Amino acid sequence: MKISKIKILFQNELSKRYSKPEIEELFSIFCEHDLELNKVELRFNLDKDLSDVDSEKFLEAISELKTGKPFQQILGEAQFFGMKFFLNEHVLIPRPETEELLELAIDKLRGSGFKTQGFSNGITFPQPDTQQPETNNRQLKILDIGTGSGIIPVVLKKHFPYAEVSAIDISPDALKIAKKNADLHHTEIQFIQKDYLNEIFDSNLTENKVFDIIISNPPYIGIDENVEIDDSVKGFEPNIALFSPTSDALIFYRKIAKEADRILSENGMIFLEINQKLGSETLELFRDFSEAELLKDISGNDRMIFVKK
């Protein structure tokens, strides 16, 4: 089948669900992924005949897209922070808000003297001083709560290669993907499969007793907000990663705030992605800390909380 014919099929078959520009974009995403043709190359190759195997891939993609399945789940991967990550239906599709959370964390850590490793992902960081220990001759210890596909610990370990990074998640299926992502990026991370909310965080759980950084993008959508969430999100992404497990949408934040007393080091920092509607309530949980700041995302929504012990 010619590429031009497949393009027409995309437009005709998907027009009920997607706008014309969205279909154009989806078509070029699949051409890039399956045929390694970028947008410009695509224009000059519309007459090209595809093998049966390739044609079949596109027809399969069309039938999956028709159901509303996100293209990242069909491809089994997504770009995040300039890097490729595997994903499936057991983990959230990485969001730009979480990139902002990581930018904030990396910035604050660099500002407090931790050395970053410059690595080639298209983002420029200062070159590391590879001989120098992280800080105070002590290793930086990071904990990610509700790691899902592992995007947070992998990006942090890439930037702070000397850090000891632990990541917890309740879902064994999510952790399988997280481990695949850690391997893909050659990062060593301690993954822990536990129900964080029902664990007392202590040295039985990780070798570390205290962490310098606690970071989390926990499930933060309240049960009452269910009706506002798009079907393409709640129908395809794991609800366990989206919705708070109880009627208290802040249950994770409450536990993190309470436990920080014990498991966050002196001057340790907390970075949290939050529900945009619950900015001040979430911030309130951290009022006893020396610093607690509510920050907006690029769309102007309350989206992150930065806390210093």
Residues 113-142 that bind ligand GLN (CB under 6 A): none
Residue 95 binds ligand GLN (CB under 6 A): yes
As a 3-state breakdown, the chain gives helix, strand, coil percent values, each rounded to 5, of: 40, 20, 40
Verify binding: residue 213, ligand GLN, rule CB under 6 A: no
The answer to whether 221 contacts ligand GLN (rule: CB under 6 A) is yes
User: Which of 72, 217, 265, 282 forms a contact with ligand GLN (CB under 6 A)?
Assistant: 217
Instruction: Report the residue number, 95 or 194, with the smaller CB distance to ligand GLN.
Output: 95
> According to the binding rule CB under 6 A, does residue 220 interact with ligand GLN?
yes
**266-280 burial by CB neighbour count: b if 16+ within 10 A, else e?**
eebbbbbbbbebbbe
CA distances from 24 to 42, 70, 81 (A): 11, 15, 24
Phi, psi angle pair for 48, to nearest 5°? -70, 140
Which are the contacts of 214, defined by CB distance < 8 A and separation ≥ 6? Answer: 142, 143, 145, 256, 260, 263, 264, 268, 269, 270, 271
Instruction: Give the interface segment with ligand GLN, choosing from 3-11, 123-131, 174-182, 216-224 (CB under 6 A).
Output: 216-224
The reply on whether position 278 binds ligand GLN by CB under 6 A is: no
Nearer to ligand GLN, 29 or 240 (CB): 240
Contact between residue 43 and residue 24 where contact means Cβ atoms under 8 Å apart: no
Choice from 233, 240, 251, 295 touching ligand GLN (CB under 6 A):
233
Residue closer to ligand GLN, measured from CB, 210 or 240: 240
Q: Segment near ligand GLN (CB under 6 A), from 5-13, 136-144, 191-199, 217-225? A: 217-225
219 binds ligand GLN (CB under 6 A): yes
For the CB of residue 220, give the shortest distance to ligand GLN in the complex, in Å.
4
Answer whether 155's CB lies under 8 Å from 131's CB.
Answer: no
User: Interface with ligand GLN includes 242 (CB under 6 A)?
Assistant: yes
**115 by DSSP, 3-state: which?**
coil
| Rounded Cα–Cα distance for residues 244 and 217 (Å) | 12
Interface positions with ligand GLN (CB under 6 A): 95, 97, 217-221, 233, 242
